[in-house]
Amino acid sequence: MTEPVLSIRDLSVEIPTRKGVVCPVDGVSYDIQPGEILGVVGESGAGKSMAGNAVIGLLNPPARIAKGEIWLNGTRIDQLSGDAMRRLRGKEIGMVFQDPLTSLNPLLQIGDQLTETMLTHLDISRSEAEQRAIAALQEVGIPGAADRLNSYPHEFSGGMRQRVVIALALCAEPSLVIADEPTTALDVSVQAQIVALLKKLCRERGTAIMLITHDMGVIAEAADRVAVMYAGRLAELGPVREILTSPSHPYTDGLMASTPLASRGKSRLHQIPGSMPRLNALPDGCAFHPRCPYVADKCRHDPGPQGVEGRAACWFPIVRERTA
């Protein structure tokens, strides 16, 4: 096995509040291999974005990493100084945000935003940076790239802006891209294009992607492996086929059953009863037990094993007989 680009070990993020400390990310571990796309799914507040922010060092205080380790290409990065971390951002880790309408500075031309990012990280001249900026825009499929350098963000449509954002995130050729809900704010017709673009660029360059989303369709489309998060913990982690077709955590199972599929016909859509508990009101035992159809006594007292690759965070994982 090659060395993973990103390796998260037992990561916990905590936020001290007046009512005590809450843990939006609680003992999560996963790896991402070079060129791999890891989908991170879960409901809002499950801790998927928080984990991403922890990796890139942009947790909003007072949120902080409480324990665990983050390794990037064999270097531990969770203890780096502010400036050392800043140098990594953009250069080694790129990030794509959810809303392309608000993630570009409205008063700066996109060419400026591209060149300033490259000049910060790469030892190149301004004219060289401009050449590269044109190339970057061409790569993400912006027509007439050379003429668009002087355009302002408001002169682009939403989909085009997300392409610009991707160009910005990738312009210093990072080895890892964290895409935080990159398609959520876009039209359905554009979503597929953006996912395909992200996938293509990363395959070409061998860039690893942490694809944070709650859209199972996007996961099925793009991800190689999936990490399912629930209430800050990793519920299940495995290859996308396995998770989609034979989930072993009851939560994943419910999630799959609630995804609308044309093949299911007009049958009533399944729902997981109840909602995810708030972080300051987590139940004892397994956080999912109040909603779990297979709940047993043990689940109410004991939180269950930590989820890792190939083992769901559940006392009684669903076992399916291999049909193959």
Partner 1 sequence: MLAYLIRRVAQSGLVLLIVGMVAFGMFRFVGDPIDNMLGQERTQEDIDRLRGQLGLDQPFAVQYFRFLENAVQGNFGVSYRQGRPVSDILLERAPATLELAAVSGFLAIAMGIALGVFTAIRRNGFSANFIMSASLIGVSLPTFLIGILLIYIFSVELGWLPSFGRGETVRIGNWTTGFLTETGLKALVLPSITLGLYQMTLIMRLVRSEMLEVLRQDYIRFARARGLRDRVVNFRHALKNTMMPVITVIGLQLGSIIAFAIITETVFQWPGVGLLFINAIQFVDIPVMAAYLMLISVMFVGINLIVDVLYFLIDPRLRADRAGAH
Provide the binding-site residues for partner 1, judged by CB under 8 A.
56, 58, 86-91, 94-95, 97, 99, 102-108, 116-117, 120-121, 151-152, 154-157, 165, 168-169, 172
CB closer to partner 1 out of 23 and 165: 165
Say which residues have a Cβ less than 8 Å from residue 278's Cβ, sequence separation at least 6. Answer: 45
CB closer to partner 1 out of 74 and 143: 143
CB closer to partner 1 out of 87 and 200: 87
Neighbours of 307 (CB within 10 A): 25
Least CB distance to partner 1 at residue 121 (A): 6
Neighbours of 43 (CB within 10 A): 16
Least CB distance to partner 1 at residue 184 (A): 13
CB closer to partner 1 out of 55 and 222: 55
Least CB distance to partner 1 at residue 17 (A): 17
Least CB distance to partner 1 at residue 66 (A): 21
Query: Residue 233: beta bridge partners?
Result: 230
- Give 264's DSSP letter: G
CB closer to partner 1 out of 148 and 291: 148
Tokens 């996007």 found at: 218
Quote the CA–CA distance of 279 and 212 in Å, as a whole number: 20
Closest residue by Cα to residue 155 from 113, 193, 101: 101
Least CB distance to partner 1 at residue 128 (A): 18
Quote the CA–CA distance of 60 and 148 in Å, as a whole number: 34
Quote the CA–CA distance of 241 and 261 in Å, as a whole number: 16
Amino acid letter for position 271: Q
Q: What backbone torsions phi and psi does residue 92 show, to the nearest 5 degrees?
A: -100, -35
CB closer to partner 1 out of 33 and 117: 117
CB closer to partner 1 out of 47 and 94: 94
Listed in order, strand segments (DSSP E) in the chain are: 6-17, 20-32, 37-41, 64-72, 75-76, 93-96, 176-180, 208-212, 225-230, 233-239
For residues 9 and 71, the answer to whether their CB atoms sit within 8 Å is yes
